[in-house]
Amino acid sequence: MTIFTTARTPATQSKSPIATQRRIISDCLVVAGILAAFGALAYLTPGVVAPVGPQGIPSTVPTNLGALPYDAMRSVLRMAIALAFSFVFSVLYGLAAARSRRAGKVLIPLLDILQSVPILGFLSATVTIWLALFPGSMLGVEAASIFAIFTSQAWNMTFAFHRSLLNEPAELDEAARILRLTRWQRFWKLDMPNAAIPMLWNCMMSVGGGWFFLTASEMISVNNRAYALPGIGSYVAAASSQGDFGKVGWAIFAMIVVVLAIDGLVWKPLTAWAEKFRITQSESSMQRTSLVLTIIRQSHIDDWLGMLLRPVGDLLDRIMRPLGRTGSVSAPKASRQRAGDIAFNIVIAAALIAGTAALLSSIRSTIGFGETWHIIALGSLTFLRVALLTIVCSVVWVPIGAMIGMNPRLSRFMQPIVQVLASFPANFLFPFLILWFLAWRIDLGWGSILLMALGTQWYILFNVIAGASQIPDDLREMAANMRLPRIMRWTKLILPAVFSSWCTGGITAAGGAWNASIIAEYVESGSHTLITPGLGSYITEATAVGDTMKTLVGVVVMSLFVVAVNRLFWNPLERYAAKRFAITA
């Protein structure tokens, strides 16, 4: 029976003097790291909760080089908080959508809509609320910025977790039902272990997405107002507006240092740790390694955390124990289920009809239907750019991602490179790309495809890497023993194995490209402004002047395009992948 393998851990229980010395050193390093983290948090907190000065919320930030380290730390803090909220949201939302058939019919289309709403759309609707919740404090702007980063991180993680729940191996699902695990036990014994690898890689990609929209998140410009927070994104925006490309270069260098530090201290240890959740019948001959993970395993941190968290875990287990057991609820009668479905569909249809009628009435009394058809035409232009981007990125990154995911040695070498490329805010390069477009007379209609691809192509790569890393070793060994030709190995094993992951990456990449169009179709740098017709540039212009109705209709049209493409193209592909290419024991 297929099992989750456990990774080999260092022999930390040895009583030799060398082992004891290593453990003491590891304890000191871990304690120093914890103290440093708390110290950095204490250093940054006063600026986060500082009161608004007499001149109000600043609209720009200083660009002296001495401010870069502090700005980098503020950006990392926002990213970490947003990632934590995104993870919790992804788990709760994915569970609700996967475990309830009726809820899934609403939550998944709603998720399609949410991922298509650009950051400016969220900010224009919520920034006033955040400022009202924390009057007279910079915490209101901080909350708005963190929420904006959250909207660039959460959706692909939710798609990945939901897909992992639907693709759980049938025999493990059957075992959970036979053992009559509670929903709480199933969550920790099956759901989370099965989702660990795809969720981890999508967390990495979410951080990359957060960096991509960092400028829009830290330099908030809505309703003819600008709010600036200390951070690398706002630093680059201010330096670009001044035309100081030297300081932009220093910000890029600081960004690379931050990304490499996060990769070494966070992502490499997590990817090595997550290897124990791979579903296979044999242990991999090449294990992922991490110096940080080795130090943590050699220390007493697991004992300390166990002492602190075990009472909390026991309490939660007692609280959750009354929840129903897996498979213990009898299926409802067909007639009752049919009646419930009819009532549910009536409620949803009534809500959609009421919402559509209210929107059409508002359009008729404000911008008119002629403007709406113009917005739809602009959406068609952006759709063509997104479709071409998805096709080209899939052709390029699917084979590369499969090779990286199947080879731990190559993955160790490529992971920091991929992390730098994916986490690096591509819009930091926009000032240089604008100069290149102007010098070579490249129309932004084509150049915007490149700008969107710089930030969204990584969704495909990271999901394919995660899918390829989950291919059971016994299937790889079988293909090697049968001496399958390279073409047959790709068509019969690798591509079918990563097809479902590619679907998830394609959905999130396309949604991210629609979102990225707001900064790719309307680009400003210094005295240069390039605009190309499209839905993204339309929403950007409407948001900048505070035209709420045009912004709303633009966001609604973008959401309709995304939902239609997902319903007509991506969802059939996902069902086909689940039916045809599921890997079981």
Which class for 4: exposed (0-12), middle (13-18), buried (19 or more C-beta within 10 A)?
A: middle
What pLDDT, in 10s, does the model give residues 316-358? 777 777 666 555 444 556 667 777 777 877 888 888 889 889 8
Three-state DSSP at 337 gives: helix
**Which is nearest to 143 in space by CA: 231, 81, 230?**
81
In sequence order, which residues have a C-beta less than 8 Å from that of residue 549 and are 6 or more positions away?
A: 362, 363, 366, 367
pTM for the structure as a whole = 0.79
pLDDT at 323: 63
pLDDT at 279: 73
pLDDT at 6: 43
pLDDT at 36: 94
- Spatial distance between the Cα atoms of 216 and 223, rounded to a whole number of angstroms: 14
pLDDT at 424: 66
- Spatial distance between the Cα atoms of 42 and 30, rounded to a whole number of angstroms: 18
In sequence order, which residues have a C-beta less than 8 Å from that of residue 515 and are 6 or more positions away?
A: 115, 116, 117, 118, 119, 152, 213
Query: Taking the mean position of all CA atoms in its chain, how far away is CA 198?
Result: 11
pLDDT at 563: 87
Three-state DSSP at 4 gives: strand
Give the total residue count for the chain. Answer: 585
pLDDT at 95: 93
pLDDT at 327: 53
Please report, in tens digits, the pLDDT of each residue of the chain (585 residues total).
Answer: 344 444 444 444 446 778 888 888 988 999 999 999 999 999 999 988 888 877 778 888 888 988 899 999 999 999 999 999 999 999 999 999 998 888 888 888 888 888 877 776 777 778 888 888 888 888 988 999 999 899 888 988 999 899 899 888 888 888 888 888 888 888 988 999 999 988 998 898 888 778 777 777 888 877 677 888 999 988 988 888 887 888 888 988 898 899 889 988 998 899 889 888 887 665 555 667 788 989 998 888 888 887 887 888 777 777 777 666 555 444 556 667 777 777 877 888 888 889 889 888 988 888 898 999 999 999 999 999 999 999 999 999 999 999 998 887 887 788 778 777 776 666 667 777 888 888 888 888 899 999 888 878 888 998 899 889 888 878 888 888 888 888 999 998 999 999 989 998 999 899 888 888 888 898 876 677 889 999 999 998 888 787 889 988 998 999 899 889 988 999 899 889 888 876 554
pLDDT at 568: 92
